[in-house]
Amino acid sequence: MILWLNPVSGISGDMLLGALLDLGAPLDGVREAVARTGLAGWSLDAARVTRGGMSATRALVTVEDTATERRAAALLAHVERAELPLAARAVRAIAEVEARIHGTDPGVVHLHEIGGLDTVVDTVGVAAALDLLDVTEVHCGPLALGTGTVSTRHGILPLPAPATAALLASAGAQVTGTGSGETVTPTGAALLVAAEARFGPVPTMALQSVGYGAGSRDPADRPNVLQALLGEASGAASGAGAAMVLLETNVDDVTGEVLGHLVGLLLDAGAADAWLSPIVMKKGRPAHTVHVLAAPERAGDCERIVLAETGSLGLRRTTVDRLALPRSTVTVDVDGHAVRVKHGPWGSKPEHDDVAAAAAALGLPLREVTRRARSAGSEEAR
């Protein structure tokens, strides 16, 4: 499922959670996920409220321990028990930007205004709701950023808050101004980062439902709500094909051995395909383009593998439509050796690894084992 967020009044953790509950994420399922954190003295409810004349769902999070200052590690210890990677990534993102801002280590950084236990409920709740709604892609429109100042433990700070600004910059977020006051919170920004949100217009999809998450305030100039659209990729919905993600990066300082290893890692990680193209870059330098085709839910893992293995400072990400013809696979016997044969509308092809193993064991040429496997496969498919 594809989720598109329309943050014309900003975004916070509880606004996003409210929008997901309004889309149909089951409240009991979200509560079960929060309960796995081992957190004591909390509650999560949903209420219908009105903001600027619009009906929306307000996620009501309460905690008995109302302290707003504690180490990020303490929050992360709770979040990790829920076994929802997105929630853990969100808290780590907050810790990392706060550590950079204050010149310390993420493992010991002390959170002030965002160190409350309600952050655990918000991050785990959102991660659980996304899972329960089967969301595989998150897209987001331009974020409405308020300006001015905010009073903190460190004194008067500019808006957007430094942590919020750093998080949005790390995600390459699209932003627009919207008067004064805080409209985007660090938790809201961290959840977008953790969800690997892509910023831009509404993606092509078959729209299924619309939800609205309410903020705590009710200003006079606009409805303080986060609009959320949920739908299926149009290709998947029509049966004509499927929306895929194409990742690409150019590298001129990576050896062939590393690139070959990278392709194997990507395929093992679930990429639909991975390949290399030789290119010539500036100043006549020989180089390669790394290409990866992946389903949206696999794209994030593939991105991290490409960046970690190549050391590249960035990559290109494009949504493409793939036409996938019907196919089937049968396993045939070639002189006592199992060989898989893939059948499509216009031909058949034995799996090379199986053919190579059988050829080595039988002492036969590859072409002979391929011929026998294809012949046996054609008989099996009839």
pLDDT digits (tens, 9 = 90+) for 169-178: 988 888 998 8
With beta carbons less than 8 A apart as the criterion, state whether 325 and 344 touch: yes
* pLDDT score, position 237: 41
pLDDT digits (tens, 9 = 90+) for 20-37: 999 999 999 999 999 999
With beta carbons less than 8 A apart as the criterion, state whether 184 and 201 touch: no
The mean of the pLDDT values for the chain is 88
Whether the predicted pLDDT of 382 surpasses 60: no
* pLDDT score, position 172: 86
pLDDT digits (tens, 9 = 90+) for 195-219: 989 888 888 888 999 999 999 898 8
With beta carbons less than 8 A apart as the criterion, state whether 343 and 329 touch: yes
Q: Binning pLDDT at 50, 70 and 90, where does residue 138 land?
A: very high
Mean pLDDT of 55-78: 88
Paired with 198 in beta bridges are: 139
Strand order in the sheet with 175-180: 155-159, 143-152, 175-180
CA-to-CA distance for 316 and 248, rounded, in angstroms? 5
Element (H, E) at 156: strand 155-159
Whether the predicted pLDDT of 156 surpasses 90: no
The H-assigned helical ranges of 82-222 are: 85-102, 118-132, 162-171, 186-194
Mean pLDDT of 58-74: 86
Architecture of domain 243-322: 2-Layer Sandwich (3.30)
* pLDDT score, position 238: 39
What's the pTM value of the predicted model, to 2 decimals? Answer: 0.64
- Residues of each domain in the chain carrying CATH 3.30.70.1380: 243-322
* pLDDT score, position 103: 78
Mean pLDDT of 161-169: 90
pLDDT digits (tens, 9 = 90+) for 247-265: 999 999 999 999 999 999 9
pLDDT digits (tens, 9 = 90+) for 318-362: 988 887 777 778 889 999 999 998 888 888 899 999 999 999 999
